[in-house]
Chain A
Amino acid sequence: MRRFALAFSIGLITLQMANARSEEGTLNLVHYPNNGQPAIVVRGDQFTIRAQGELDVFVETDDRLIELNAQWRKIPGGDAEATVRIPSEFTPGLYSIVGILGEVEDTQQRALLILDSAPSQYTIAHIPSPGIASAQEASLTDAFDSASPLFAIVTGDLTANGDADEYRTLLDWLNTSPIATIVAPGQSDFTESLYREYFDTTPHVTQYGRDTILTIGETAPQLDEDLSGESSAYQLLRRTMKPARWSIGISGYAHAALSPRMQIVLFVDTPLHALVAGRAENAIHSPSSVIWDSFQGATRILTPAADAPVGIQWIHVTPAGIADDQSPEE
C-alpha cells in the first residue's frame, strides 16, 4: 500500500469528482466516519476510520485531496480499522473523507469536523424526530444561523418508515446542513433493517476534546432478557468514555425501549451526565413507561416537551454542566 509523508506541504494530489457512497446511497468503502456519524477531532489529534478494506485515505478540500497516513488493522467481521492523525496545520472546518481502493473511490461528505482546540463552552443543536417521508423536506441551510452551534444532533425517528427512498431523502436533507450532523435512530428507522446500510453500526462513541457523545442504537424488543450482547458494547464504550469531562447519550427512543441491563450500565453503574432523547410524544405507552431516569437519577434527561413546537432544542454545554433551552442563547 502506498504511504505518503504526513507533511502538510506534500502528498497533495488532484482527482476527478469523487463518488459519494453507493448509487443507492448506502455506505460504500468508508463505513465510519460518515455524514451521520462524523469524526470530530482537534487538529493535531487522531481519529479512527473503519472501512471495507485497507484504503488510501484523503481529506477533500476545495480543490484537492490531502492524504492521511493510515495504519490499518483487521477487525472482527471483515472490516479494517485505522487510526489517523490530523496534522496540526489543518484549517478548522467541516470536510469530506475520500477513500480509494484500487479503482474504486468513495466520498463521505461532511464526515470530518476539525476543531481548532478542545471546546470548553459550546452549543449543540438538537433536531428531534424529523421523520423524513418525502423529497419536499425543508433545507437545513439557514437553520443554525442564529446560534452557531458546534454541531447538530438529529434524533429519531429519522425516517417515517425506514425504507430506502426515505433514507436517500434523509441523506440529501442532512447534506443541506452547514454543520456536522450526528444521527441517533428511532424505532421506525429499523422497520426494514436498513439503518446499518446507511450509517453503520450502533452504539457508537464520538469523542471530541474532553467531551464524548454516545449514540444509542437499536434495542431488542425482547427487552427483559439482555439477549444480544448489546449491553457488552455499551459497557465497553462507557468505560472508554469514563475520563471524559461530560458524557452525553443521544437517542431517538423516548420510551421504555432500553433493557434494564442497559439502564444499569448507562444510568446506574457509570451514569451518563446527560441523555438527549427524542420527542416525548414518541412515548408509546402511558407516561409511566418513560423510565429513562427510573434508576438512581444521576443522568440529566433532556427531552423536548411533548407540546414544544417542532424545531430545534438547544443544548448548552459549559464547564458547569449541560442544560437545554428553546433559545439558542446560553
Chain B
Amino acid sequence: MPESTAKSRTIDRPFAAYFGCGFAAFALIAHTFAAHAQPSADIAYLSGAHYNDLVVCVLHVGSDAVDIVGTGQRDGRPVWSPDGERLAHTLDHDGERRIRIVEANGTAANILSSPGGPARHPRWSPDGGQIAFIAGPPNAERIYVYDHNTKTTERWGSDNPPLLQPAWVSEDRLVAVGRIGKPGSQTTDLFWVTQTRADRIDDALPEHGKYFEWAPSSPGIGEFLAFESDDGGDREIIVYAPQRGAIDVSNHRAADWNPRWSPDRRNIAFESFRGGRRGIYQVNALRVLVNTVSAPKGANAWDPSWSPDGNWIVYVSDRNGDTNLFATKPSGEETVQLTNSPGMQLAPAWRPVR
C-alpha cells in the first residue's frame, strides 16, 4: 500500500512563559496558523506532572492563553459537546470516578450521579442533549445515558453482554464493544445499542466471538463505522459499510489503533507502529490510501484529533522527551509545536465550530 513520504517541518518560535495550568511552570510556543486560520482554534487537553495531577485545560491557539477548566482530581480525557460550548471529563469525586460537565470557560460545573458505580468514557450525542457513559466493575460494565433536558440517567442496552466504549451513531443509537465469553477466555464483538436492546452487528463481524474488535467510531453517516480488529493476525483498522461488509483499510503487519474520522467523513486518522514507533497516519476510507501524518524518528506520536475544518491534526508526541502537543497538516507537510512544558500534555481535543 503506498504511503506518502511527505517531509515534516517543525517550526520553533520563542517561548512565552505561563504559570498556571498543571503544577509546573508552563511555556507555550507562540505560533500562528497563517495559511489556515482556524475559526475556533481552541484545544482542550490534560496537563500535569503526574497522572494524579492531571487537570483539564483549554489552550487558545491564537493568543497563547490557557484556561484551567478542570479540577486536578485525576481529571480524565476532555470531550467537547458538539456545539463547542461545554466539556465532559472524568474525575475523582468522593472516592469514585464520576463524569463532570463544565462550560468551556470553567463555570457551571455539574457532576453526574452514576447509579452503576464508577463512571467513565463520556460521549456526547450528536445534538448534545445526552451523554452516554460506562459504569460498573470490570466484566459487568453497563451503558448509562444522561439526558440534559430531563436531568435523568437511564441504563441502555440489555443485561448481557457487558458493554464498553460507546460511540453515538444517531440520536437514539450507539455502537459499543461487548465482552463475549467468560473471564479468562473473552473476545469482543460490536453491538448496536438502543434504550432497550443490544444487538450484535452481524454482517460487520461474520465470525462471532473469534476476533477482538475495539475502538468503534462512527462518522455519523447511517451505519458506517470504523473500528479495529485482530482479524488477519494483527490489529487493523476496519471500515464497515452496510451491505458492503467490513474492509481492512490499514492493512499492515504492524499494529494499527484508534481510528478517528475526519470532519468531512472521508478520511480516518489512526495510530500505527509501522514506522517502528507509534505514529499518526491517515487513510482515505474509500480509496484506501494511507499516508504518514507524523512518525518522528525515535519518538512516538499518538491521540490524534482533527481541527473542525480538517486542515490540521493535533496530537501528543514525546519527540523532545516530555509529552507535548503538536499539530500537523494531514498531508504531513507542516508541523507546529503547540506546547513546550515539562511533564505531561495529553488527550488533545480540538474545539468544534460554535
Contact = CB atoms under 8 A, between A and B. Distances in A.
Interface of A: 75-78, 193, 218, 220-229, 232, 235-236, 239, 256, 260-261, 264, 268-269, 285-286, 288-289, 291, 293-297
A288 B139 contact: yes
Contact of A291 (B75, B138, B316): B138
A296 B321 contact: no
Enumerate the 10 nearest inter-chain pairs by beta-carbon distance, A residue then B residue, closest first.
A77-B321, A232-B278, A224-B120, A222-B76, A297-B184, A291-B138, A225-B77, A220-B51, A297-B185, A294-B183
Given A222-B74, A291-B138, A295-B187, A229 B316 contact: yes
B316 A286 contact: no
Contacts of A264: 212, 214, 235
Contacts of A193: 49-50, 52
Nearest to A193: B50
Contacts of A294: 138-139, 179, 183-184, 186
Contacts of A291: 138-139, 183
Given A76-B298, A291-B183, A227 B347 contact: yes
Contact of B273 (A75, A229, A235, A286): A235
Nearest to A224: B120
Contacts of A220: 51
14 contacts: A77-B321, A221-B92, A227-B76, A227-B303, A229-B323, A256-B137, A288-B137, A288-B138, A288-B139, A291-B138, A294-B179, A294-B186, A296-B212, A297-B186
Interface in B215-259: 230, 234-235, 255, 257-258
A229 B319 CA distance: 12
Nearest to B276: A236
Given A227-B77, A285-B137, A269 B92 contact: no
A229 B185 contact: no
Contacts of A235: 255, 273, 278
B139 A223 contact: no
B176 to A, nearest CB: 13
A227 B185 CA distance: 26
Interface string B141-175: 00000000000000000000000100000000000
Query: Mostly helix, strand, loop or mixed at chain A's interface?
Result: loop
Nearest to A268: B212
B121 interface: yes
Nearest to B50: A193
Contacts of B138: 256, 288-289, 291, 294
A60 to B, nearest CB: 31
Interface string B295-325: 0001110110000000000001011110100
Contacts of A261: 257
A228 B51 contact: yes
Interface in B276-308: 277-278, 298-300, 302-303
Contacts of B277: 232, 236
A119 to B, nearest CB: 30
A225 B321 contact: no
Contacts of B52: 193, 221
Nearest to B79: A225
Give the contact-size bracket for chain B: 35 or more
A223 B120 contact: yes
B327 interface: no
Interface string B3-31: 00000000000000000000000000000
Contacts of A293: 183-184
Contact of A224 (B75, B121, B258): B121
B46 interface: yes
A215 B20 CA distance: 35
A234 to B, nearest CB: 11
Contact of A229 (B50, B137, B302): B302
Nearest to A295: B186
Nearest to B322: A77
A296 B185 contact: yes
B137 A260 contact: no
B344 interface: yes
Contacts of A218: 51
A288 B140 contact: yes
A75 B50 CA distance: 22
B54 interface: yes
A222 B90 contact: yes
A76 B300 CA distance: 11
A229 B51 contact: no
Nearest to A219: B51
Given A222-B51, A291-B183, A268 B230 contact: yes
B88 interface: no
Contact of A76 (B49, B54, B258, B318): B318
Contact of B318 (A229, A256, A269): A229
B212 A229 contact: no
A223 B76 CA distance: 9
A75 to B, nearest CB: 8
Contact of A289 (B51, B137, B187): B137
B346 interface: yes
B193 interface: no
Contacts of B74: 221-222
A232 B346 contact: no
Contact of B302 (A222, A232, A260): A232
Contacts of A285: 137
A153 B202 CA distance: 46
B134 interface: yes
Most chain A CB atoms below 10 A, which of B50, B137, B186, B187:
B186
B35 to A, nearest CB: 29
A224 B136 CA distance: 12
Contacts of A260: 164, 214
